[in-house]
Amino acid sequence: MAHFAKVVDGIVEKVIVAELDFFDSFVDEAPGEWIQTSYNTYGGEHSKGGTPLRKNYAGIGYTYDSERDAFIAPQPYASWTLNSTTFLWEPPVAYPDDDMSQEYTWNETTKAWDEIT
């Protein structure tokens, strides 16, 4: 089985699991196209050592960039920028690298990571 995203005007509207031959007999009169996506692809890498597919697994609300053949999540904050290699959003300040005993949340007002207490 494979995963396919229904893309309408560059936006993912749904994701389904189906065999490729399903589309040979499937009649979809709604606008858009079905594009294969891989559950194992994240940041341009395949988690099981396979070939990554379209940079990231598609999700509802994601954008599909046909020129770069990439699924891109919605921008989480205005200050974050898109990495043109991984197609993941990156904060202007890296997540704190501590002993992992503390969790943080992004503060868009201060453009910093706040400790969760």
Burial of 105 (0-12, 13-18, 19+ CB in 10 A): exposed
pLDDT at 6: 96
pLDDT at 1: 86
Residue 82 has pLDDT above 90, yes or no: yes
pLDDT at 89: 98
Residue 110 has pLDDT above 90, yes or no: yes
Residue 99 CA from chain centroid, whole number: 28
pLDDT at 101: 81
pLDDT at 55: 98
Bridge partners of 114?
A: 105
20 vs 40, which has greater pLDDT?
Answer: 40
Residue 7 has pLDDT above 90, yes or no: yes
pLDDT at 30: 84
> Does this model's pTM top 0.75?
yes
Radius of gyration of the chain (CA): 17
Distance CA 45, CA 24 (A): 29
25 vs 52, which has greater pLDDT?
Answer: 52
Confidence of residue 99 (pLDDT cuts 50, 70, 90): confident
**Backbone phi, psi, residue 24, to 5°:** -65, -35
Domain assignments of the chain as residue spans, ordered by start: 1-74, 75-117
